[in-house]
Amino acid sequence: MTFPTSVLTGRLLPYLLGLGLIAVITGEPIATAAPHGRFDWPLQPRPAVVRRFDKPARDWLPGHRGVDLTGTERQPVLAAGDGFIVFAGAVADKPVVSIDHPGGLRTTYEPVRAEVPVGRWVTRGTRIGTLESGHPGCAAACLHWGARTQGGGRRKREYLDPLGLLRRTPLRLKPVAP
């Protein structure tokens, strides 16, 4: 059974596009979004990076599955990109917020006291909570920001460097004079 595309209105359409579900529901193939898009820093002003991404050789081995960004306690934490809040609660006694973005990408933010409920669609720059102190390895408050692909089917879950999501100034090469 298929439904006309006009039934899929509002905030659900971008998410379904990102998951590639429109083709299933409408019977029409529609290209899905790439796992990256328009993303921005989750803290403003632009924070310093305290600890960089260190991808583990295997999911269960040591590494740093995100980046730590300098911040201040109770500083607003912003959604880095558009998506649905899929988790807002505690993991190992740390407050965490997770957002699923179109294209199969999930970003996580900790330690963040959530101000948005699970299921809410947020856009880039939406305040999702406030930063708390107590992240291991940080003298002051800092935000651990992580990113991963969701996997599914033959595609496995993979941790990504969230700094790679940010739009950077393009590199411009000048001709070399003979």
Residue 153 has a pLDDT of 65
Nearest to 109 by CA among 151, 20, 17, 47: 47
Tokens of 120: 């809410």
CB 17 within 8 A of CB 84: no
Greatest Cα-to-Cα distance within the chain, rounded to the nearest angstrom: 66
CB 98 within 8 A of CB 118: no
| pTM for the full predicted model | 0.72
3-state secondary structure of 71: coil
Render the burial of 126-149: b for 16+ CB within 10 Å, e for the rest.
bebbbbbeebeebeebbbbbbbbb
Nearest to 121 by CA among 159, 163, 155, 79: 79
pLDDT tens, N- to C-terminus, the chain (178 residues): 343 443 334 444 444 444 433 333 333 332 233 344 589 999 999 999 998 887 877 767 666 788 999 999 999 999 999 999 999 999 999 999 999 999 899 999 999 999 999 999 999 999 999 999 877 777 789 999 999 997 766 667 888 899 999 976 555 677 777 6
Q: Please give the Cα distance from 120 to 102 (Å, whole number).
A: 14
Domains of the chain: 1-32 (no CATH), 49-165 (2.70.70.10)
Tokens of 114: 């959530």
User: Could you report how far apart the first and last alpha carbons of the chain are, in Å?
Assistant: 66
